[in-house]
Amino acid sequence: MSVRLPSGVFSLLSSLVLAMAGVAHCGPSAETGVAMVPNGAVADAGWALARLNDGADPAGQSFVYPETTQPVRLYLIDTGVAHTATWFAANPKLTVEHSELIRVFGDPRTSNAVQHGTRMLSLIAGPQTGAAQGTPIQLVNFNVYPNGEGSQTSSGRIEDAIIEATAYQAAHPGIPAVICLASGSQGPASSGLFEDVIADAVEAGITVIVSAGNEGANASNYVPSAYGTQAGVICVGASDPSNLHLQSSNHGPAVDLYAPGQNVRTLSLPNPQAGVYQGMTGTSPATALATAAAIIELSKNPTLSPAEVENLLTGNAETLIGVPAQPAAPAALVQVEADPEGDSDGDGSADILEAFFGSNPANPAVLPAAASLTRSPGQVQLGFSVDADLFNPATPFLLHNGASWKVRWSPNLTDWHDATGTLTTGAATGGKIPLTFQMPSAAPSCFLRIEVIPAP
């Protein structure tokens, strides 16, 4: 389960803390790291995230997300967001750039409405549950619920938020942007002003993603879902674990894509904890997951127009969703490409990495073996095996097939440096050569990863 890194660089090993929490001590002067796992992977992700990787696999529970480098601005027009300094701080790629309460005359000056927006953000960028947690995201949050938790808002406040998002983007250019809007009318409605401000946002280069709504009716009769017919406005319906249209989801020609929307794992509120989730059902979680997919694509290619983002997502989608209103034409299920560099057996580990570690790129049951990680005073030692046919003892960091590899380290999972140390070679056995890389380190925390770079 590898991830794509810039310039064709691949990372297999997730970075592990070599000190403090989560490390077993083997004596007064030595520490042993736990077994490493592939980077960019959530082994137990639940059905919804897993379905984004492979829409045709109903049994999948793991999710691999790409690591991308270009920041994307997320305009979350929703409630406010909580736990940004605590729970969401576990994702160093998420930055809260701006937050604002949208008010009309007579509205309170503060709002305690945070639940819906916080859960939406957890599906986009949150640790454990976020589909785009490997992508740098700059969050601009417009809270359009000034009357507090559980209240309703108005189309006027949402229109103001979209206008402010468009103006903010003009004042802070250079970063691709997405609007995520999962609020809508509960009855048939239309609004020329609403339609116009969305069109203005698209014209300004912002991809707009809206929920289809939860009335089990024609989305074309509701706002803002009706505007899914505009190029660059993506209207998202909800599907269930059987790849069927969720009964409560709106449908029809305005719906561009479907995404998982039944009992989707989000963080647990009010006190998030690792491994504890709350289920979220409806077109809101579906909209969040589709937003994450759009963010990933914009990070890969920031020059995409909103219409091109829509075409890319619909073009890469799985046509699996059975919708009662259109049984002869299955709807599209949004997908997140787990491994854009080639994964023959679909196990989430790139072929180039499986070859390097002597694994089997044609067998999804065979993944690269875990490395060993130990620490003694002033030293860190990494042990792993490489394919004997690829490894060249004369030029150990340049492989026989022209690819190269290196070890990198970080004190904080953000700043990465090439590691300098000593490489020791063992005797080949079973077609693999054991290697030990040892480097000096006095840092209180040290994270390591191996990167394999394809031949030029």
CATH number for the domain spanning 190: value is 3.40.50.200
**Does 314 lie in the same domain as 388?**
no
**Does 365 lie in the same domain as 252?**
no
Distance of alpha carbon 338 from alpha carbon 342, whole angstroms: 10
What pTM was computed for the model? 0.71
Torsion sign across C-alpha atoms 94, 96, 101, 102: negative
What pLDDT does residue 165 have?
98
CB atoms within 10 A of CB 216: 13
338 domain-assigned? no
What pLDDT does residue 136 have?
94
Distance of alpha carbon 60 from alpha carbon 318, whole angstroms: 15
Show the CA angle centred on residue 131, arms to residues 45 and 275, nearest 5°: 35
**Does 65 lie in the same domain as 135?**
yes
145 domain-assigned? yes
443 domain-assigned? yes
**Does 306 lie in the same domain as 431?**
no
> pLDDT of 316-367, one tens digit each?
998 877 776 665 555 789 999 865 455 666 666 677 788 888 887 777 777 7
* Count of domains observed in the chain: 2
Identify any residues that bridge with 234 across adjacent strands, giving them in sequence order. Answer: 209
Residues 337 and 54: beta-carbon distance below 8 Å: no
C-alpha torsion 42→47→51→55, nearest 10: 140
**Does 23 lie in the same domain as 71?**
no
445 contact partners, CB below 8 Å, separation of at least 6: 17, 18, 19, 20, 411, 412
At 455, is the pLDDT very low, low, confident or very high (cuts 50, 70, 90)? Answer: confident
Encoding tokens for residue 55? 């829409």
What pLDDT does residue 27 have?
28
Mean pLDDT of the chain: 85
**Residue that is last in its domain, among 333, 362, 394:** 333
Show the CA angle centred on residue 271, arms to residues 270 and 272, nearest 5°: 115
340 domain-assigned? no
**Does 373 lie in the same domain as 318?**
no
**Does 360 lie in the same domain as 305?**
no
What pLDDT does residue 124 have?
98
Distance of alpha carbon 406 from alpha carbon 304, whole angstroms: 33
Angular region, 263: left φ>0, alpha ψ -120 to 50, beta rest: left
At 83, is the pLDDT very low, low, confident or very high (cuts 50, 70, 90)? Answer: very high
Pairing mode, if any, of strands 277-280 and 264-267? antiparallel
pLDDT at 443 over 90: no
Ramachandran angles phi, psi of 176, nearest 5°: -65, 155
Asked which of 153-157, 277-281, 327-331, 420-424 is least confident by mean pLDDT, the reply is 327-331
At 190, is the pLDDT very low, low, confident or very high (cuts 50, 70, 90)? Answer: confident
Q: How many CA atoms lie within 13 A of 284 on its CB side?
A: 23
What pLDDT does residue 342 have?
59
pLDDT at 157 over 50: yes
Pairing mode, if any, of strands 137-143 and 257-260? unpaired
**Does 54 lie in the same domain as 17?**
no
Asked which of 129-138, 346-355, 379-388 is least confident by mean pLDDT, the reply is 346-355
Q: What are the helix (H) ranges across 249-361?
A: 283-300, 306-316, 351-356
**Residue that is last in its domain, among 286, 306, 333:** 333
**Average pLDDT of span 367-382:** 83
AA letter at 163: I
Sheet holding 447-453, edge to edge: 3-5, 9-11, 447-453, 404-410, 417-418
What would the DSSP string read from start to end of 377-393?
TTEEEEEEEEETTT--T
pLDDT at 375 over 90: no
What pLDDT does residue 122 have?
98
> pLDDT of 21-42, one tens digit each?
222 222 223 333 333 333 467 8
**Average pLDDT of span 55-73:** 88
> pLDDT of 253-281, one tens digit each?
999 999 999 999 999 999 999 999 999 99
Residues 124 and 295: beta-carbon distance below 8 Å: yes
More confident residue, 10 or 410: 410
**Average pLDDT of span 427-433:** 92
Tokens 């406010």 sit on residue: 80
254 domain-assigned? yes
What would the DSSP string read from start to end of 40-101?
TEESS-HHHHHHHH-TT-TT---EE-----S-EEEEEEES----TTTTGGG-TTEEEEEEEE
**Residue that is last in its domain, among 299, 333, 367:** 333
Distance of alpha carbon 200 from alpha carbon 67, whole angstroms: 31
155 domain-assigned? yes
pLDDT at 14 over 60: no
**Does 28 lie in the same domain as 15?**
yes
Distance of alpha carbon 413 from alpha carbon 428, whole angstroms: 33
- Helix 306-316, helix 283-300: angle, nearest 10: 110
What pLDDT does residue 365 have?
78
Q: Write out the residue range of the structural domain in which residue 359 sits.
A: 3-38+349-453
185 domain-assigned? yes
C-alpha torsion 236→240→244→246, nearest 10: -60
**Does 430 lie in the same domain as 303?**
no
pLDDT at 297 over 90: yes
In angstroms, how far is CA 447 from the centroid of its own chain? 21
**Average pLDDT of span 148-176:** 96
**Does 446 lie in the same domain as 357?**
yes
Percent of the chain with pLDDT over 90: 60
What pLDDT does residue 10 have?
37
**Does 356 lie in the same domain as 284?**
no
Asked which of 66-70, 369-373, 434-438 is least confident by mean pLDDT, the reply is 369-373
